[in-house]
Structure 1
């Protein structure tokens, strides 16, 4: 069992005729369905975070109505191939639902757009008056000529009442998938994953954790946009191996310096050197004290010029914990410890 996710079997005696509200993390859809098989027959509010959404086991009754349920929130941060086979039938059992929150990453052979949400979900929930969603729909091995534009996707949400819907469409040829990401706005989740250069902007005061990913380079202006959109950002993960457009040192002096006032954790394990510079150069970024950094050791050594570079010294001095990854164990030199004077802990992780 993974920490934070419960895993159990249907024979475990979990029954209550009094429980009205439940918030729980479970390892798979199966555990969620066991909890909805009648053993919690007065449940009205159900918030569930599911690690894996898979096909429904044949021994589970998917016809039994969940008439008492009024509020349902489903979060799953891992990709699912079972939207049509598992999620849609589950929601059809909740005919009296008044509020629905969905956070999903869906892999189908088509984009799940606003028309799909209407036909698959909304039309089957006549009492629904509050629908919050954050959905990534992905297609692998796509033909770009067959993929609809963001404008096409927006048209499918024209009939959605009460909410502004933000969307963007991305193509990632190296990993061979296309993605349509859309969400109701204002955004209410605490995390925002896989932000690309197509990020439409906005203000996300609830968000504390983000990840950035693209196969095109992120420029300095992109990070300005990110810092303005997520003013209370605490954790940032970046994945991008594309070099930034090179600027001279003189050009760097004219860049707006970005301040990350609340950042506590910075993960730069899968990045080009330029993005380590982006955060460690004091001419580009101001990091807060006591930050944790995850980075490949050889990359860090190269960017800091063997822990002697002045441009990266100020922000490096603010690092409190460092997670170093790389092939083989490394001896940390005296220069390393002097370069990170406030370091309280470090660890190595071997990668091949």
Structure 2
């Protein structure tokens, strides 16, 4: 390291090696850190100690990745996890890229509860994070990250109580947004669409959603009229949307061909769709996604499964 320290731009470290490597010499070209911790206590100790990071490191780090290996399932550990998120922004004052446990083995999630967090950053440009519910997502988009350009968020649940948080302030500087939620939600019109209307200058958009509708449904015409057309700068729109309609007899549902035709001319993307009616169970199931399909799972395969090549899929369900 003493011989090449001036060339090193990124270090991936575990807590046990931080002082021995990071503080052993200077790294004038260093801009990025990957911190890999066995548990939340190890991670917290890094940011509560005055000797872990010197003044130079605190100011020169602009990119940070943090992964925690343990499965956090207690309320106290979850609280530590959320506190850690805030501590990071008081440690690295010039942070521009932050990936907070997005690729951890276990899916730790931020949860601010009903109170808005106090953290703020005028330098952050890109944030990748998992949160407990939609309220947490709205907290992170309330203006505290004034320069944010890219936001990727995985939300555990989206429910109506989240509407208590401000969902109206425009986000003109946001260029790229990704929203993933595996849990089914009724709040598409109430919460998701109002959030998207705040992002009129998006250039890339990625949605992975499971929606419950009692009336109506979503098709390609809806996507064009309510998302693509209002976002004049949008040039890449990827999605995987599953929709369950529980009153199909009350609306005039299309055929599979009619449904597929509504997706023509959406930013020249290839879009696959399938539509199934389950008359005995009184619901219909819509599934439509951009191709190639890049998710690791493909759920709810039905008789109308369109087939194709799925290079990234590891798990399937019927």
After TM superposition, the score normalised by the length of structure 2 is 0.63
- 2:261 is matched with 155
Show structure 1 runs of 4+ deviating over 3 A.
Answer: 56-59
Work out the CA distance in 1 between the residues paired with 2:205 and 2:163: 26
Trace 1:1-352 onto structure 2 (pairs within 5 A): 4-9=108-113, 10-55=115-160, 57=162, 59-108=164-213, 109-143=215-249, 146-212=252-318
Work out the CA distance in 1 between the residues paired with 2:232 and 2:263: 18
Gaps of 5+ in 2: 1-71, 74-106
More strand by share: 1
How far residue 174 of structure 1 moved from its aligned partner, in angstroms, is 4.4
How far residue 112 of structure 1 moved from its aligned partner, in angstroms, is 0.4
- 2:10 is matched with none
Contact 1:170 1:198 in 2 (8 A): yes
Work out the CA distance in 1 between the residues paired with 2:227 and 2:172: 16
What CA deviation, in whole Å up to 9, does each residue of 1:148-186 have, x standing for no partner? 111111121112132111111112234331011111111
Greater relative contact order (Cα < 8 A, sep 6+): 2
Work out the CA distance in 2 between the residues paired with 1:111 and 1:138: 8
SS at match of 2:137: helix
How far residue 206 of structure 1 moved from its aligned partner, in angstroms, is 1.4
More helix by share: 2
Work out the CA distance in 2 between the residues paired with 1:58 and 1:86: 7
- For these two proteins, the number of residue pairs brought into alignment is 212
How far residue 47 of structure 1 moved from its aligned partner, in angstroms, is 0.7
SS at match of 1:48: strand
**Larger Rg computed on CA atoms:** 1
**Alpha-carbon RMSD:** 1.9
How far residue 25 of structure 1 moved from its aligned partner, in angstroms, is 1.1
SS at match of 1:39: coil
How far residue 144 of structure 1 moved from its aligned partner, in angstroms, is 8.5
Contact 1:45 1:69 in 2 (8 A): yes
What CA deviation, in whole Å up to 9, does each residue of 1:167-212 have, x standing for no partner? 1111223433101111111112222111112111100101122212
